[in-house]
Amino acid sequence: MWSDVRLDGLSGKVDELRAESAALRSEMRELRVEMNARFDSLQRSMITMMGTMALGFAGIVATQP
């Protein structure tokens, strides 16, 4: 049999676990937002670089006799 003291202790540990789980979910959500922002920035940089390279190659082709 479980005594009231043991049940209260278990209940407290379960509550702690729930709080830690909620904090972890919040951290993961923040990390996901930050990573998405970084990937968006990287994608913009890559598109800009590819556009610049394409214009450079077009300029080289256009200036050939």
Encode pLDDT of 8-36 as tens digits.
999 999 999 999 999 999 999 999 999 99
Mean pLDDT, rounded, of the chain: 95
Query: Which structural domain, as residue segments, surrounds residue 15?
Result: 1-65
Show the tokens assigned to 15: 């509550």
Closest to 26 in 3D by CA, of 36, 18, 37:
18
Helix (H) or strand (E) holding 4: helix 4-62
Model confidence at 44, pLDDT cuts 50, 70, 90, reads very high
Q: How far apart are alpha carbons 12 and 23 in whole angstroms?
A: 17
Domain total in the chain: 1
